[in-house]
């Protein structure tokens, strides 16, 4: 074992984290950092899977991640006990490559397209997705079985998200080991008041209902606990956890904030507004921009920065131009988490006006940094923030005028902005670290293994 790895193991033993060596196979179509489109930037995007892998490895597990994604194949190793097996499904790669060639050929001979419009509603599951889900389940089950033979068996299979959960069930049955399923939230909650429409989303429903020894649903504000209850998933098998935060990395009190603001062209008297997240339809970047356009009628001294990429990026930029915000809004694209945290520390106000939930990793990090947060009471937002105490939480999540009024209050009143930022900082101090969050999960997994006689 290399000296650095041996030193790490000694440190982990000293912390009491080192358990007897166990092995698991994680199955997913995602990569370690959750990105969108053709962005390939390890370290950018949602860091949930990264911290999950790290948490298990630090607790002594040998973790093998089976994924069809090659998005982050150039990234540095997560840990000496984390092994990532990236292998696309060849037939799917061929079909997708052919479709890309056809699109490029058509684009070369087609007239210029009009400015793109943003999508704000989800479409029904496609037949292609249904076929791919069946293929993914069969292929990953076989790959998991082959991998288990090569590494001398495993103790656990861990299926991640709507494709990984059913594939994990098939692999766990084949290997005769327990299954844990993991969801980072759910889009099914948009239809909680219409069960018939919810059940029509067969792919997500089947995945969420996948029988497992333990179901871990992230409390990201999308009300996954209510979805699981509606679907009849046994409560005793569900754990509903909010994500953790790497506080020492997120909060950077010694950062040169003026330098960061200067690079973005933000003057000293201007209020720096920030939003970060994938440019995905339910994130409603259109609503964010419409709020900013309304705010500008009464307050000019702000600059807004949007971090992230996704299917709605071009539509968002086109809308920004149509709203006359080009001199007030800047889209900086996806960036490594480390750089994004510099921007978060430098901003004055963090905003989130999404459809399903405003309780993603970024608002948690904004609390830790002590930022004034302006958001809406959709999903589980109030699990994190209290209006008037730790942020501005507007009850009407789709009312641009009322959201703009809430934002204007803190833009025009620095004292209120500072008071709410202090409240957010206090709330951030109560949040779990990722180490604490993963300790909870690993204890539950160990109980599953003991119950199955795998102690």
Q: Is residue 350 a contact partner of residue 370, using CB atoms and an 8 Å limit?
A: no
The answer to whether the beta carbons of residues 302 and 411 sit under 8 Å apart is yes
- Report phi then psi at 82, rounded to 5: -110, 125
Q: For residue 255, give the 3-state DSSP assignment.
A: coil
- The mean pLDDT of 213-240, rounded to a whole number, is 95
Confidence at 24, pLDDT banded by 50, 70, 90: very high
Give domain 248-430's CATH architecture: 3-Layer(aba) Sandwich (3.40)
pLDDT in tens, 250-289: 999 999 999 999 999 999 999 999 999 888 888 899 999 9
Task: Say what the pLDDT of residue 18 is.
Answer: 45
Listed residue (165, 247, 253, 185) closest to 437, CA to CA: 247
Could you tell me which of 345, 177, 327, 171 has the C-alpha nearest to residue 274?
A: 345
Nearest Cα residue to 379 out of 406, 360, 392, 365: 360
pLDDT of residue 334: 86
pLDDT for res 17: 46
Q: Give per-residue pLDDT as tens, 347-381.
A: 999 999 998 888 888 999 999 999 999 999 988 89
Task: Name which of 91-100, 108-117, 133-142, 231-240 the model is least confident about.
Answer: 108-117
Q: Quote the mean pLDDT of the chain.
A: 88
Q: Could you tell me if 332 and 298 are in contact, meaning their C-beta atoms sit under 8 angstroms apart?
A: no
Question: CA nearest 392: which of 427, 351, 429, 364?
Answer: 351
What pTM was computed for the model?
0.85
CATH number for the segment(s) 3-244+434-451: 3.40.50.2000
Question: Where are the domain boundaries for CATH 3.40.50.2000 in the chain?
Answer: 3-244+434-451, 248-430
- Highest mean pLDDT: which range of 14-28, 56-70, 100-114: 56-70
Average of per-residue pLDDT across 387-398 = 95
């Amino acid at each position: 074992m290399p000296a650095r790895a041996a030193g790490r193991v000694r440190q982990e033993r000293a912390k009491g984290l080192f358990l007897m060596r166990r092995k698991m196979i994680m199955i997913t179509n995602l990569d370690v950092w959750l990105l969108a489109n053709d962005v390939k930037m390890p370290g950018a995007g949602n860091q949930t899977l990264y911290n999950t892998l790290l948490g298990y490895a630090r607790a002594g597990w040998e973790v093998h991640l089976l994924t069809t994604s090659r998005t982050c194949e150039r990234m540095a190793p997560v840990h000496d006990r984390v092994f990532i097996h990236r292998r696309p499904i060849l037939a799917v790669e061929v079909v997708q490559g052919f479709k890309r060639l056809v699109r490029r050929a058509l684009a070369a001979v087609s007239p210029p397209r009009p400015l793109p419009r943003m999508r704000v509603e989800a479409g029904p599951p496609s037949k292609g997705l249904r076929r791919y889900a069946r293929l993914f389940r069969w292929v990953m089950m076989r790959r998991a079985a082959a991998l288990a033979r090569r590494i001398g068996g495993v103790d656990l299979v861990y299926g991640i998200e709507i494709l990984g959960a059913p594939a994990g069930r098939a692999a766990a049955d084949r290997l005769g080991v327990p299954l844990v399923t993991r969801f980072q939230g759910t889009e099914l909650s948009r239809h909680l008041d219409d069960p018939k429409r919810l059940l029509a989303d067969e792919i997500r429903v089947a995945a969420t209902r996948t029988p497992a020894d333990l179901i871990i649903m992230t409390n990201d504000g999308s009300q996954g606990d209510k979805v699981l209850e509606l679907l009849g998933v046994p409560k005793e098998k569900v754990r509903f956890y909010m994500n953790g935060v790497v506080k020492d990395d997120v909060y950077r009190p010694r950062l040169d904030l003026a330098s960061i603001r200067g690079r973005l062209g933000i003057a000293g008297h201007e209020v720096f507004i920030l939003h970060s997240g994938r440019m995905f339809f339910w994130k409603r970047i259109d609503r964010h921009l419409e709020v900013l356009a309304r705010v500008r009628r009464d307050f000019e001294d702000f600059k807004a920065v949007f971090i992230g990429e996704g299917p709605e990026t071009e539509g968002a930029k086109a809308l920004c131009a149509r709203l006359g915000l080009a001199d007030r809004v800047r889209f900086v694209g996806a960036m490594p988490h480390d750089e994004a945290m510099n921007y978060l520390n430098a901003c004055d106000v963090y905003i989130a006006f999404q459809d399903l939930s405003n309780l993603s990793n970024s608002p948690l990090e904004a609390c830790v940094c002590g930022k004034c947060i302006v958001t809406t009471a959709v999903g589980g937002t109030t699990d994190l923030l209290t209006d008037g105490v730790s942020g501005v939480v507007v009850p009407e999540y789709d009312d641009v005028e009322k959201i703009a009024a809430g934002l204007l209050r803190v833009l025009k009143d620095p004292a209120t902005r500072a008071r709410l930022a202090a409240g957010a900082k206090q709330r951030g101090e109560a949040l779990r670290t990722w180490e604490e969050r993963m300790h909870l999960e690993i204890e539950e997994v160990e109980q599953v293994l003991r119950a199955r006689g795998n102690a």
